[in-house]
Amino acid sequence: MSEVKNRTSMSLTPADADSEVVVQGWAQDVRNLGGISFLQLRDRYGIVQVTAPKKRTAPEVMEIMASLSRESVVRVTGTAKASEQAKGGVEVLPTRLEVLSAAAVPLPMGVIDKVNVEPDTRFDHRFMDLRKPEARAVFEIKSTVLALIDQYLVDNGFVEIFTPKLVASGAEGGATLFELRYFDKTAYLAQSPQLYKQMLMSTGLDRVFEIGPAFRAEPSDTVRHVSEFISFDGEMAYIDSQRDVQRMIEGCTQAVIGGVIERCQKQLELLGANVSLPKAPYPIIAYQDAVEMVNDEGMKLALGEDLGTEGEKLLGEVMARQGNEMYWIEEYPEEAKPFYIMEKDGTPYSYSFDLDYKGQEISSGGQREHRYDRLVARMEKKGLDPAAFNFYLEAFRFGMPPHGGWGLGIERLVQKMLDLPNIREAILFPRDRIRLVP
Ligand code: AMO
């Protein structure tokens, strides 16, 4: 007996003609035309056409064809046949058709219908939405992004770490903390690995990175804020200045975007995305100049104010005109930056930066205040109670090297790289003020 080959739409080629094959997937479309039935079978990689001429097909197979509901999962055993009309140049004439899981009727939403489905409907039935190859392509690209980051950081001597997501105090301001009961105590969901990655700088693990969930109770309903996202954090000791940190991010984002262009051709094509490698070195804009630039474009920002969504967008437009997709904004007023950022002595500024990509912040970071007394003073200035941070501060009292680092929102990077209209498109099951299921 000849071996029956289990095939995917990708591996099936005209060279398989006349051999017996098995294909499995979803019944994307079924047409029963009397004398002949067609089934478009979809798997992860594409479509296989199953063609059943009545005269040459077993009656029980024709019967199943006639009653098969769209999106049912089927297994087809049959003979491959070269065909000019079929996609991939090959079709399958079925000898056996098994329904592995029948789909109920009607479907909660269509997979191939060209009608515009509301985003809410799509996210309510995300499993169905993700049957669309272009919806899935985003996650194949996101997975490649994460693999490329891992590679770059490991090549640069970084150790991958995992810090607690259940924490006793937040590092990024009280307003966006999710509070929960932790036995008989109050705990919070971690907004970032900030305190822990810094504490590790006092251990000898002098280059660390983490890719993990971060939680923010963001009340704003925007296309770039969600309440759970994947944060890519790095921290490095013995830096001379924040430039060392910026160089690392620049190298990493170049490797990531270049790698996606190289490895994800098929997915980019599905999405119609035209990704180019941002010009490097990324230009540096001082915060003061950024304010001036957006004011020249018609905004009325005062010095010290946050650029905000509108300001970032306008700055993105100015930079795009100069052919720049990624650029730094630095020298932020220390007042606008968290307690852990180092002040620039004798000025109102700080050793901090943001990295913007096509008009949106994707990363921020800087040099940290590693001097215990200065750090405590900065906490007090920000209205924080140092006692609540004893576990963190202790690491600064017994030998803490100078250090700096960054946090980068993975979904914001993917969103801007692929020009997705909403960050939620880059999250399988997004969480926001309204959405907690699925
Ligand atoms: P920051 O608060 O700027 O810095 O966050 C870092 C990056 O995380 C992403 N991000 C978000 N993405 C989606 N939804 C949100 N609600 C959201 N909030 C933030 C952004 C942002 O640039 N500890 C510092 C980093 C550091 O200094 O190391 C921090 O968390 O892309």
Query: What is the residue with the minimal CA distance to atom 10 of ligand 1?
Result: 409
Indicate if 280 and 345 belong to the same structural domain.
Answer: yes
Indicate if 90 and 144 belong to the same structural domain.
Answer: no
Sign of CA dihedral 55, 61, 62, 65: negative
Query: Please, which residues bridge with residue 329 across strands?
Result: 285, 354
Structure tokens that stand for 241 in this block = 């200045």
Q: At residue 2, does pLDDT exceed 60? A: no
pLDDT at 6: 83
Confirm whether 118 is domain-assigned.
no
Judge whether 63 counts as a catalytic residue: no
Judge whether 397 counts as a catalytic residue: no
Indicate if 211 and 360 belong to the same structural domain.
Answer: yes
Structure tokens that stand for 193 in this block = 């690995």
Confirm whether 117 is domain-assigned.
no
Largest CA distance in the chain: 90
Domain that residue 52 falls in: 5-101
What is the tally of structural domains in the chain? Answer: 2
Angstrom distance (rounded) from CA 167 to CA 389: 11
CB atoms within 10 A of CB 277: 13
Judge whether 224 counts as a catalytic residue: yes
With b for 16 or more beta-carbon neighbours within 10 A and e for fewer, the 300-313 pattern comes to ebeeeeebebebbb
Confirm whether 113 is domain-assigned.
no
Confirm whether 143 is domain-assigned.
yes
Q: Are 136 and 130 in contact (CB under 8 A)?
A: yes
Question: Which residue reads 């929960």 in tokens?
Answer: 180
Indicate if 88 and 135 belong to the same structural domain.
Answer: no
Angstrom distance (rounded) from CA 170 to CA 229: 16
Choose the final residue of a domain: 67, 86, 101.
Answer: 101
Q: Summarize the confidence of residues 206-221 as an average pLDDT.
A: 96
Q: What is the mean pLDDT of the chain?
A: 96
Nearest to 325 by CA among 353, 355, 298: 355
Q: Which residues line ligand 1 (CB under 6 A)?
A: 172, 192, 194, 216, 218, 225-226, 229, 231, 233, 361-365, 405-409, 411-412, 423
Indicate if 157 and 259 belong to the same structural domain.
Answer: yes
At 294, which CATH number? 3.30.930.10
- pTM listed for this prediction: 0.96
- How far are the Cα atoms of 41, 78, 98, 187, 332 from residue 95, in angstroms, in the given order? 15, 5, 10, 60, 70
pLDDT tens digits for range 319-341: 999 999 999 999 999 999 999 99
Query: At 430, is the pLDDT very low, low, confident or very high (cuts 50, 70, 90)?
Result: very high
Indicate if 319 and 225 belong to the same structural domain.
Answer: yes
Q: Summarize the confidence of residues 12-22 as an average pLDDT.
A: 94
Atom of ligand 1 nearest to the CA of 412: 31
At 24, which CATH number? 2.40.50.140
Indicate if 374 and 246 belong to the same structural domain.
Answer: yes
Indicate if 376 and 239 belong to the same structural domain.
Answer: yes
Q: Summarize the confidence of residues 418-430 as an average pLDDT.
A: 98
Q: How far is the CA of 220 from the centre of ligand 1 (A)?
A: 15
Indicate if 350 and 392 belong to the same structural domain.
Answer: yes
Q: Summarize the confidence of residues 330-356 as an average pLDDT.
A: 97
Query: What is the residue with the minimal CA distance to atom 12 of ligand 1?
Result: 409
Indicate if 301 and 186 belong to the same structural domain.
Answer: yes
Atom of ligand 1 nearest to the CA of 235: 28
Angstrom distance (rounded) from CA 257 to CA 238: 28
Angstrom distance (rounded) from CA 411 to CA 309: 16
Q: At residue 113, does pLDDT exceed 80? A: no
Indicate if 96 and 131 belong to the same structural domain.
Answer: no
Judge whether 361 counts as a catalytic residue: yes
Q: At residue 428, does pLDDT exceed 60? A: yes
Query: At 3, is the pLDDT very low, low, confident or very high (cuts 50, 70, 90)?
Result: low
Angstrom distance (rounded) from CA 357 to CA 312: 9
Judge whether 125 counts as a catalytic residue: no
Grouping H, G, I as helix, E, B as strand and the rest as coil, residue 5 is: strand
Q: How far is the CA of 268 from the centre of ligand 1 (A)?
A: 26
Annotated active-site residue in 71, 91, 334, 361:
361
Q: Helix, strand, coil % (nearest 5) of the chain? A: 35, 25, 40
Confirm whether 287 is domain-assigned.
yes
Annotated active-site residue in 7, 207, 216, 424:
216
Confirm whether 37 is domain-assigned.
yes
Angstrom distance (rounded) from CA 400 to CA 384: 21
Query: What is the residue with the minimal CA distance to atom 21 of ligand 1?
Result: 363
Indicate if 363 and 249 belong to the same structural domain.
Answer: yes
Q: Summarize the confidence of residues 222-250 as an average pLDDT.
A: 98
